[in-house]
Every structure is written in structure tokens, then in C-alpha cells.
Homo-oligomer: A and B are copies of this chain.
Amino acid sequence: MNLKTAEVEKSSHLDYFNIAISVDCVIFGYDKKELEILLIKSDLKEFEGMWSLLGDLIKPNEDIESAPYRVLKERTGLEDVYLEQVHTFGSLNRHPSGRVITTAYYSLIDINHHKLQLTHNEVHWHKVGDIKKLAFDHKLILDTCLQRLRQQVMEKPVIFNLLPEKFSLRELQDLYQAILGIQLDRRNFRKKIALKEWLVDLDEMEDNVPHRPGKLYKVKLDLKPKSAKKKKKLIAFVS
């Protein structure tokens, strides 16, 4: 058996360094009871007029995990956002420029708090439910990320990244409903949330609502970051 140094191995594989890798961000926001995502007009002639996800090629000296943060920063000015890797897409002809494999991340941001500095390009929020078609395979990527988001909000307190610091239980329930696409029973919802012990009662009331104002809450401090958090009852499958 003959070992080769990394240098030798590299040179023998030079023709493989012929695939580019990008990241694409599915940036979710929430406004007026609707889940939205941030899209940009495609700047490729092949997809003229179509919308696409925010993405970019990974730089040769850039960690893959930092690339989506850079993309968000460059395109929207956003920092300190919640980001999570979802899946890598690499079918042969997904990109007309050549072989580009892309890793998709989803991000959750509070639309109203983070005022976007929309840079040079045409970047806009779109209701997720209205999106039928996107450039590249971006519709598939969106669907995959949405599915993952639905799974995650059931398991972890990530949903609060979509809300302002203070929110009412109605707002929280509306948001769950927008994400999951189902209606929830108000009384059961409130009981369930109370059990999770994610919230702090602020002793403040809603304002400017055309009905009886509800209490305002914020999320407990230790939950905002990625937070794996105690997994009470990991084993629900078999006794």
C-alpha cells in the first residue's frame, strides 16, 4: 500500500476542482398573519424576470457556515440572525453557468425590527403561499426549507426569531398557524405554551388593537440563540 501526501493527491485530482459551490438562503419573515420570504430578481438572462433566493458562491477562504451570514449581511445589512443548514442540492444541470452545487440555509428574521437596507438589487418580500415558481431549482429549495421549518417549530423554540421582542399570545398563535398551515384551538394552545415555560410575562398590555388588549410576553433569554435545550422525552417511539 502506498501512501500519498496531500500535495500529490491534490495534483492528481486537479480536474475535480471544477465545481463551484454556493449557498442559498431561504429567509423567512412574518407580517400580517402571513409567512413571507425574501427574494431577489434574478440577474441571469436565462431567468430574466424571475425571482430567486439570495445566494452567492462560497469564497475559497471562507468557512461554509459563515457564507450565508455574509450573504445576508451584504444583501440586506442583517446581522445576528438565526440560520440553519438544511440540505445540499447538486443535480447536474441546476445552474446554467456550469456545475454549481448549492447548500441551502434557512433563516428567521423579524421583518419589522430589522429594517432592511435593501442594496443595489431588487430585493422584496413575497408571501410564501403565493410563490409558484422560482429561478433555478429554488422552488424545490424553498419547499424543502419550509418543511424543515415546520418540523423545527414543533421541536424547538426557534419561532421567536420571527417575532418582535414583545408579543401577545394571539400573535404567537397566528404565527404558528401561518407556518403550520392549520388552525389551533386557543385554549389548548395557551396551555401548551405555558407548559413549555418559554415565556416571561411582561406585565404590559397590547396597544392600538381594536379590541380588548392582551398581555405581552417576551421569550426567556436563554432561548433566543440556537439553543438545543432540554429534550424532555426524547424517546417517544417505544416505551
A97 contact from B9, B21, B57, B92, Cβ within 8 A: B9
Q: Given A16-B57, A59-B16, A184-B239, are A5 and B44 also a contact pair (CB < 8 Å)? A: yes
- Contact of A189 with B by CB under 8 A: yes
> For the complex, is A225 an interface residue (Cβ under 8 Å from B)?
no
Decide: A88 and B85 in contact? CB cutoff 8 A.
yes
Q: Are A16 and B20 in contact (CB under 8 A)?
A: yes
Q: With the chains together, A199 CA to B169 CA distance in Å?
A: 44
Interface segment out of the listed A30-38, A61-69, A204-212, A216-224? A61-69
Report how far A125 CA is from B101 CA in the complex, Å: 31
User: How far is A192 from B193 in the complex, measured between Cα atoms in Å?
Assistant: 28
Asked if B88 and A63 sit within 8 Å, CB to CB, the answer is no
- Other-chain residue from B59, B64, B91 in contact with A63 (beta carbon distance below 8 A): B91
Q: Does B5 contact A46, Cβ atoms closer than 8 Å?
A: yes
A74 to chain B, nearest CB (A): 15
Bound form: Cα–Cα A18–B99 in Å: 12
Distance from A185 Cβ to chain B, minimum over Cβ atoms (Å): 5
Classify chain A's interface size: 35 or more
A127 beta carbon closer than 8 Å to chain B: no
Could you tell me which A residues sit within 8 Å of B by CB distance?
1, 3-7, 9-10, 13, 15-21, 41, 43-46, 48, 57-65, 85, 87-92, 95-99, 101, 103, 121-122, 153-155, 176, 180, 182, 184-185, 188-189, 192-193, 235-239
In addition to A9-B44, A16-B59, A19-B21, 15 A-B residue pairs with Cβ atoms within 8 Å of each other are: A3-B48, A4-B43, A6-B45, A6-B96, A7-B97, A13-B20, A21-B21, A21-B90, A63-B92, A64-B90, A64-B101, A88-B103, A184-B239, A185-B239, A193-B238
Selected A-B contacts with CB under 8 Å, 14 pairs: A1-B43, A5-B44, A6-B44, A6-B45, A6-B46, A7-B97, A16-B58, A58-B90, A64-B101, A90-B103, A153-B237, A182-B235, A184-B238, A192-B238
